[in-house]
């Protein structure tokens, strides 16, 4: 992967109502919880201390899905952004499984999750996005991104972006953490997590 000349700040959207009940969203949406809004506000304040916008607003690439847009809206209250919606930052879709919990999938599609783990089950769906297709769009986006920049995206997509950036194998990248109480700074072959404190629900 090409070396970025300036930092890329990678943010997962704040907690949503479906996050709280274990429902996978994919291309569907649910609103940010109060905690999710607080997380986004904390990230905005922390970024404003890290990033100088004296030469103009920070370039921001934002997934078009509602939860990412809402997170970017809150961050923008603390940091002047030059926003671009980029569909390549959307979440991976599990097709007909979008909006379902693992329990519901197991009931409606018996055996489909047998032998899967917390990373690869997303790609067991009969009509979802393949790992190969998701990796292709993430790689294309990373080739195009101009830094310094902020990306507001999703849990699984964030794993793939960091995995490609770090040169990890498929299993390693799918096992990466996806916290919502901070952001990652990608620079010089590293992906450092910057925590923004714990929020109360």
- Active-site residue set: 13, 91
* Paired strand residues for 152: 11, 62
Q: Are 47 and 150 in contact (CB under 8 A)?
A: yes
SS3 content of the chain, % helix, strand, coil (to 5): 40, 20, 40
Give the contacts of 118 (CB within 8 A, at least 6 positions apart).
Answer: 174, 175
Q: Are 40 and 32 in contact (CB under 8 A)?
A: yes
Q: How far apart are CA 158 and CA 166, in angstroms?
A: 12
For residue 62, give Cα distances in angstroms to 38, 88, 192, 199.
19, 9, 20, 23
DSSP classification of residue 146: -
Please compute Rg for the chain using Cα positions: 16
DSSP-assigned states of every residue in 114-127? TT--TTGGGGG-TT
């Amino acid at each position: 992967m090409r070396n970025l000349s300036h930092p890329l700040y990678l943010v997962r959207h704040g907690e949503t109502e479906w996050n709280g009940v274990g429902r996978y969203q994919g291309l569907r949406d649910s609103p940010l919880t109060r905690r999710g809004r607080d997380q986004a506000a904390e990230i905005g304040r922390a970024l404003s201390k890290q990033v100088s916008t004296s030469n103009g607003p920070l370039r921001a690439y934002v997934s078009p899905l509602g939860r990412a847009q809402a997170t970017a809206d809150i961050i923008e209250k603390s940091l002047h952004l030059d926003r671009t919606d980029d569909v390549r930052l959307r979440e991976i879709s599990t097709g007909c499984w979008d909006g379902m919990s693992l329990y519901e999938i197991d009931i409606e599609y018996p055996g489909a999750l047998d032998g899967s783990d917390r990373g690869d089950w997303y790609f067991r769906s009969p009509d979802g996005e393949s790992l190969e297709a998701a990796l292709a769009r993430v790689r294309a986006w990373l080739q195009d991104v101009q830094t310094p920049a902020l990306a507001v995206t999703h849990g699984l997509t964030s794993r793939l972006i960091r995995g490609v950036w770090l040169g990890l194998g498929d299993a390693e990248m799918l096992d990466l953490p996806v916290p919502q109480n901070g952001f990652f700074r990608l620079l010089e072959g590293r992906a450092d997590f910057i925590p923004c404190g714990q929020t109360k629900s």
